[in-house]
Amino acid sequence: MQTLMRLVIRLVVRLGVQLLLVVIVAVSLLHFSPLDPVTQYLNGNLFAVSATQKAVLAVQLGEQGSVWASVSQWLAHVAVGDWGQSVLYRQPVLTVLWERGQISLLLMSISWLLALFVGYGLGLLAGLCANRWPDRVIRTTAWVLSAMPPFWLGMVLIAVFAVKLPWLPACCAAPYGDGVFEQGLSSLLRHMVLPMTTLVLVYMAPLILHTREKVVDVLSDAPVQYAQMHGQGAWARVRFHVVKNSLVPALVLHLASFAELFSGSMLAETLFNYPGLGQTVVKAGLTHDTALFLGATVLSAVLVFVGNALASLCADWLTPGVRR
């Protein structure tokens, strides 16, 4: 129990230090950005407002003040539960993050699970068929996918399945003019197919290659050779030796790659105009919506930290020889 408490305290301290550094870096990026926040917010139409309104808008966008003053002021408001008001969406920051965070989490969680199951399954098949045609096909496909940028693959999918073959919608999480969840789960999933496919194809490739090499190594180990000499069947060897020794490393690797999945999700959401957390970070940064940008950045950092912490815990407690 004491070990668990020490672990929790250590994780909380690490998370606090990380979030403080993230806030400082995010405020510094906004402060030293060459983009004029008022110009970006007005889409270049500076003559639409008076000089007095420009000054008020500059204060609302957080243009004035030093980096440390902005950080301390934001932390003081967050300490009392006030995350600020989004200038871009005219809503409280927590409301915007709640609405868009649900959609992002749905997209990332489904993509993460599909990439894990499909990537591990294909890697297992490639390892069991090492140096034969299934292995060559799977390995070559994985190398090609790992070299593809997510935004390029997304544009190809849009050109094929939304333009050439109009089978799927090219953007958004719902038809224009409708709420995201008003059209039902089936409509939401249909709009998620292309961004989800983009993320799954790109982020299952490293898992395929890693699992394939691990399976080949396990099959050449002495315990597997010993079991084969004593008449243990192929399915039993795969079940009791290969899967047990290759699934946990694949899970740890996949959890550790959550940061890459989140960055790819930001690109995919921007490309497909998907109203999630990633697109919110990009829009808030471009329009200099300081409160929303900081809130979305902190939430993103928490998600990445949780993924890395889970990977570390899996490596400590599930890996044979390390578990206490």
Taking each helix axis from N to C terminus, what angle separates 93-128 and 133-146, rounded to the nearest 10 degrees? 150
Q: Say what the pTM is.
A: 0.76
Distance between the two ends of the chain, CA-based, in angstroms?
13
Sequential pLDDT tens for the chain (324 residues): 666 677 778 888 888 888 888 888 888 877 776 655 565 566 555 556 666 666 666 666 555 567 777 788 788 888 888 888 887 788 888 888 888 888 888 888 888 899 999 999 999 899 888 888 889 999 999 999 888 888 888 888 888 888 888 788 777 655 544 455 555 667 777 888 888 888 899 889 889 999 998 888 887 776 666 666 666 666 667 777 777 778 888 888 887 777 777 777 877 888 888 788 888 888 887 777 778 888 888 888 888 888 777 777 776 666 555 444
Beta-carbon count within 10 A of 15 CB: 15
Task: Please name the fold of domain 93-317.
Answer: MetI-like fold (1.10.3720)
Q: Which two tokens stand for residue 52?
A: 């007095």
Q: Report, in angstroms and rounded to the nearest whole number, the Rg of the chain calculated over CA atoms.
A: 24
Cβ(293)–Cβ(250) under 8 Å?
no
Domain coordinates in residue numbering, the chain? 2-90, 93-317
Helix (H, G, I), strand (E, B) or coil at 235: helix
Separation between Cα atoms, residue 193 and residue 231, nearest integer Å: 46
Please state, in angstroms and rounded to a whole number, the distance separating the CA atoms of residues 18 and 25: 11
Cα gap 66→17, rounded to integer Å: 21
- Within the chain, how many helices (H) and strands (E) appear? 15, 2
3-state secondary structure of 54: helix
Residue 123 burial (CB < 10 Å; 0-12/13-18/19+)? buried
